[in-house]
Amino acid sequence: MKDEDWDTVLDTNLKGAFNTVKAFQRSMMKAADPRIINISSVIGLIGNAGQVNYAASKAGLIGFTKSVARELAGRKVTCNAIAPGFISTDMTDELNEAQKEAIVGNIPLKEMGAVSDIAALTLFLASAEARYITGQVIASDGGMTM
Query: Of 54, 81, 134, 139, which residue is the catalytic one?
Result: 54
Q: Which of 112, 109, 133 is nearest to 121 (CA)?
A: 133
| 35-39 β-sheet, strand order | 35-39, 78-84, 137-140
Residues near 91 by beta carbon (within 8 Å), at least 6 away in sequence: none
Distance CA 144, CA 100 (A): 15
C-beta of residue 63 within 8 angstroms of C-beta of residue 81: no
132 is catalytic: no
Where in the sequence numbering do the catalytic residues fall? Answer: 54
